Structure 1
């Protein structure tokens, strides 16, 4: 079995007596694990990691329009994995560039929808409100918005932002407050900010 997601970080072969457990990958135990995973998942099989993540993913989804082969999509998938989003939805028939995901797409559920209409129909069937993230007229600042616990955060392309059809499908439109001279921030950065805003409202932290 090959592990092409190797990075320059990691651990060597398992020291001492090998552990028991179906979650462990015999090849990784023997050769070492240089994948970009947290320590808890060192030496684990990919399928075991996905199964464990499925036990505590958050109930928000992430959706991205993909009409122009946006290179930010991979980075958004990576952030969705970091914040344990339930699923990432890519809207559009184009193939998306996975390089920015740094192979986190292997651990993250990703679904593709051909168009906004199909995606919106899916969201309605799942009773998931669509929250569009864009700085357009009528939007509410993210700092005052109360995110539904179950929802889909919808992001547009770098540059043009969300399509008119996507805005129409959304139940709320939220913008990230900015205080400098630039008109907008990078799409993948905006996605990370929005996901973290959801986390701050719905995840309890020890104090």
Structure 2
């Protein structure tokens, strides 16, 4: 992964993404909302059918076979922000986004793995009665970053 950034950056990706449509929509949002790179972990995905802006060809895209490979290639100084609906997660509404981070989302049907949750530097959630579509959840997090409080 990229490891020489002078200022702030963020990447966003999905662990074990469920559908190509969700990936494509997330990539399009990432391109529109200022992500530096996008990624997938695991082999549960296919061609990103809804990536109408071709974000995969417009910004760095990385694929990792498993979480260990992803973690080993984490950019220097980056913090993992896991997006997970758990009691331990901090509310997005009061969260101060790190200057350099990677937002990690899980598939709607399984969420993040236990290992990914344990290795995340931060866990965030937002007000929602039920889990949301992964591309919607990722878009909300990136939008909040763009309008948010000063970075840590």
Shared fold per TM-score greater than 0.5: yes
Instruction: State whether residues 130 and 153 of structure 1, in contact with CA within 8 Å, keep that contact through their aligned partners in structure 2.
Output: yes
Contact 1:74 1:96 in 2 (8 A): no
Tell me the C-alpha RMSD between the 2 structures: 2.1
1:89 and 2:49 are equivalent in the alignment: no
- Once the 2 structures are TM-superposed, how far is the Cα of residue 93 of structure 1 from its aligned partner? 2.9
In the alignment of these two chains, the number of paired residues is: 143
1:1-207 aligned at under 5 Å gives the runs 59-66=9-16, 68-69=18-19, 71-102=21-52, 103-123=54-74, 126-178=76-128, 182-201=129-148
Distance in 1, matches of 2:126 and 2:96, equals: 13
Q: Which runs of 5+ in 1 are unaligned?
A: 1-56
Kindly state the Cα deviation for residue 201 of structure 1 after the two structures are TM-superposed: 2.5
Which structure is larger by alpha-carbon Rg, 1 or 2?
1
Deviations 1:58-101 (A, max 9, x none): 61111211264553111111111111211101111344331111
- Pick 1 or 2: higher relative contact order, CA cutoff 8 A, min separation 6: 2
User: Counterparts of 1:127 and 1:58 in 2: how far apart (Å)?
Assistant: 10
- Where does residue 4 of structure 2 map in the other structure? none
**Which sections of structure 2, spanning at least 5 residues, go unmatched?**
1-6
SS of equivalent residue, structure 1 residue 100: coil
Counterpart CA distance in 1 for 2:145 and 2:99 is: 8
TM-score using structure 1 length:
0.63
TM-score w.r.t. length of structure 2: 0.84
